[in-house]
Copies of this chain bind each other. A is one copy, B any other.
Amino acid sequence: MAVYTEVSDEDLSAFVAQYDLGAVLSCKGIAEGVENSNFLLVTERGPYILTLYEKRTKREDLPFFLGLMEHLAVKGVASPLPVAGRDGVALRELCGRPAVIVTFLAGMWPRRVQPMHCAQLGEALARLHLAVADFTMTRPNALSLKGWHELFAKSADRADEVAVGLRDTLRAELDALEAHWPTDLPTGVIHADLFPDNVFFRGETLSGLIDFYFACNDFLAYDVAICINAWCFEIDGSFNATKARLLLANYRKVRPLSRAELDALPWLCRGSATRFLLTRLYDWLNRPPGAFVQPKDPVEYLRKLRFHQSTRSLRDYFIDDEDGTASAADPA
């Protein structure tokens, strides 16, 4: 949960007056989004989401994020659409921060992930990857191998405060990832943060994707690996192969995965687990005293990393390796 910036009623009314949205009826800070301040804004035209970008979102990245959301809307991917003011401009300023109003997306994110959620997620993720194929803006992934090394350097000295041996584990893992990270898989714009709280369902039907503020260019299959980590483990740390199978099978119905992508998945899963372990470790070690936001537990991702370290191929995930050929990858 996060509402960092308090917006006064006067400032808000002046801001909304720049749009064709009628008068403000209500504006309530909502417990969604960890990086930015989000408000459910109700105007005479209906509900909208108002986002104020806090310092962790870089201003220079905003045209990419907003352009991506507009592109997705044109392509029919259900996601929030930035609303332009009467002057045609969507990105403005409010309380000294970049601010945007986006359309309201009906639905709730699943608190208890069921296999059917993973099935629909797989299809939606593949459709997202197809939809961005002709999006021309690019943004490098700052949280790939190079960024992981930088994050590790900032946290290494205190890593063992979170788990004994974590520093050595991470150093060895980064070396292994450096040696095995794929180089020539299909790339494109990925969501890069498609956790359950960023996927809305109406009843049992996926109704849209939100929060594109980590989107960047990287291997499309890396997005799949992020989802496997985020959606296919139980709270007790166990891997749910049914969920992973459904996720992958429904993804592949829309966008087939190549032999190279399938073989790379175990390493992509290790890399994804390392990425979230590193950011959570950093946030954990650097949480401000008295912070409103409880940092996420790094150890959850250490467990996931250890699981992936124990696999040697897709078959170890109990995932049907459809081609029938033995895996060429040997991530151990």
Instruction: List A residues at the B interface (Cβ < 8 Å).
Output: 1, 3, 6-10, 12-13, 23-32, 40, 42, 47, 104-112, 201-203, 290, 292-294
What are 16 contact pairs spanning A and B, CB under 8 A?
A1-B292, A8-B112, A9-B201, A24-B108, A25-B107, A25-B202, A26-B106, A26-B107, A28-B31, A28-B32, A30-B30, A40-B40, A42-B47, A47-B47, A290-B294, A292-B294
**Other 12 A-B pairs with CB < 8 A, given A23-B202, A27-B108:** A9-B109, A9-B112, A9-B201, A12-B108, A13-B203, A25-B202, A26-B47, A28-B30, A28-B32, A29-B32, A30-B30, A42-B106
Instruction: Tell me which residues across on chain B come within 8 A of A111, comparing CB atoms.
Output: 6-9
The 6 A-B residue pairs whose C-beta atoms are closest, nearest first, are A29-B31, A25-B106, A8-B111, A28-B30, A9-B108, A3-B31
Nearest chain B CB to A167 CB, angstrom units = 24
A29 CA to B106 CA, complexed, in Å: 15
In the complex, which residue of chain B has the Cβ closest to the Cβ of A107?
Answer: B26
- Give this chain's copy count: 2
A52 CA to B203 CA, complexed, in Å: 22
A260 CA to B6 CA, complexed, in Å: 41
A117 CA to B24 CA, complexed, in Å: 18
Instruction: Tell me which residues across on chain B come within 8 A of A27, comparing CB atoms.
Output: 108
CB contact under 8 A between A10 and B112, given known A47-B42, A203-B23, A294-B292: yes
Q: Is the CB of B203 within 8 A of A26?
A: no
A1, A30, A110: most-surrounded residue (chain B CB, <10 A)? A30
A30 CA to B26 CA, complexed, in Å: 12
